[in-house]
Amino acid sequence: MTGRSRNTSFLVEQSRSGLAELAVWTILLLAMFLAPGRHQLLSEIAIVALFVLSLDLIMGYAGIVSLGQAAFFGVGAYSAGLVAIYVTSDPVIGLLVSAAAAGLVGFATSFLVLRGSDLTRLMVTIGVTSLLGEIANKATGITGGADGLQGISIGPLLGLIPFDLYGTTAYGYSLAILFLGIVLARRIVGSSFGLSLRAIRDNQLRASAVGIPVNARLVAIYTISSVYAGVAGALMAQTTQFVSLDVFDFHRSADALLMLVIGGTGYLYGGIIGAGVFKLIQSVLSDATPQYWHFWLGLLLVVLVQVGRTRVIRSIANLLGLGPRQISPQANDAKMSQPR
pLDDT at 20: 66
Cβ distance 231 to 181 under 8 Å? yes
Q: What is the C-alpha to C-alpha distance for residues 47 and 278, in angstroms, rounded to an integer?
A: 13
Which residues are 243's β-sheet partners?
A: 149
Per the rule left: phi > 0, alpha: psi between -120 and 50, beta: everything else, 167 is left
> What is the mean predicted confidence (pLDDT) over 5-15?
47
Q: What is the C-alpha to C-alpha distance for residues 328 and 88, in angstroms, rounded to an integer?
A: 49
The string of pLDDT tens digits covering residues 189-217 is: 888 898 888 988 888 888 888 888 888 89
Cβ distance 74 to 233 under 8 Å? yes
Q: Hey, which of 31-35, 42-46, 303-307, 312-316 has the most confident mean pLDDT?
A: 42-46
Is the model more confident about 67 or about 4? 67
pLDDT at 337: 42
Q: What is the C-alpha to C-alpha distance for residues 130 and 71, in angstroms, rounded to an integer?
A: 8
Whole-prediction pTM value?
A: 0.82
Q: Indicate the pLDDT class of residue 291, thresholds 50, 70 and 90.
A: confident
Is the model more confident about 227 or about 280? 227
Quick one: CA torsion of 231, 235, 238, 239, rounded to 10 degrees?
Answer: 180
pLDDT at 52: 92
Q: 205, 204, 272: which is closest to 56 by C-alpha?
A: 272
326 pLDDT exceeds 50? no
Q: 71, 69, 94: which is closest to 81 by C-alpha?
A: 94
> What is the mean predicted confidence (pLDDT) over 271-297?
78
294 pLDDT exceeds 60? yes
Q: What is the C-alpha to C-alpha distance for residues 258 and 307, in angstroms, rounded to an integer?
A: 17
State the DSSP code for 100: H
> What is the mean predicted confidence (pLDDT) over 53-73?
89
63 pLDDT exceeds 50? yes
**Residues 6+ away with beta carbon under 8 Å from 268:** 53, 56, 182, 185, 186, 189
Cβ distance 65 to 122 under 8 Å? yes
pLDDT at 329: 40
Q: What is the mean pLDDT of the chain?
A: 80
Q: What is the C-alpha to C-alpha distance for residues 107 and 294, in angstroms, rounded to an integer?
A: 35
Is the model more confident about 286 or about 94? 94
The string of pLDDT tens digits covering residues 147-184 is: 888 888 888 888 788 887 777 888 889 999 999 999 89
